[in-house]
Amino acid sequence: MKIVDFVRPELIIAELHGRNKAEVVAELARHMAQQQPEINAATLTRVLMEREQLASTAIGEEVAIPHGKLASVDRLLSCVGRSRVGINFDSMDGRPTHIFFVLVAPENSTGIHLKALARISRLFKDPAFRTRLLAARDAAEMYQVISEEDAKY
């Protein structure tokens, strides 16, 4: 499984405007809904926030992977957002979160969802990759960084 299989350049936000968890989640959900007609922004926001209430999806090292399942999607979908200022996302390490990787899977899927989470986590463990992603000029360059790193594995 490759990340570029479910991340597209138009689903990358180079600078998020939200300043807290709820605002960032809603912004990412709205962006996904604008690009994917089968997604309802309000429903996705609710699903992602319900997951956040169980436990934060901020895995540390300035990265969060908000995720959930929707009956309206038939394949794995993703959206990447970056906040240069950093957001308090209740991270395990207490540090601000700068990179958000939203993952939406079909409601009846399990394996593909877990494989994608594992793949994303593996890529983001590399500090050089995170640094390059944070330093990228725009969404196109962020996509290029993701593609290059994805091709290594």
- The model's pTM is 0.95
**Mean per-residue pLDDT, 121-128:** 92
- The arithmetic mean of pLDDT across residues 106-130, rounded, is 90
113 counts as catalytic: no
Q: How confident is the model at residue 105 (pLDDT cuts 50, 70, 90)?
A: very high
Please tell me which residue in 17, 31, 67, 113 is annotated as part of the active site: 67
pLDDT tens, residue by residue, 11-45: 999 999 999 999 999 999 999 999 999 999 999 99
Domains of the chain: 3-151 (3.40.930.10)
Please list the helix, strand and coil fractions of the chain in percent, rounded to the nearest 5, in that order. Answer: 45, 20, 35
**Rg, Å, the chain Cα set:** 14
In this predicted structure, what is the pLDDT of residue 113? 82
The total number of residues shown for the chain amounts to 153
> Is residue 111 predicted with pLDDT exceeding 90?
no
Can you spell out the DSSP letters for 47-93?
Answer: HHHHHHHHS--EEETTEE--EEEETT-SS-EEEEEEEEEEE----TT
Q: Is the pLDDT of residue 128 over 80?
A: yes
pLDDT value at position 110? 77
Q: pLDDT tens across 68-92, in order?
A: 999 999 999 999 999 999 999 999 9
Q: Tell me what percent of the residues of the chain surpass a pLDDT of 90.
A: 89
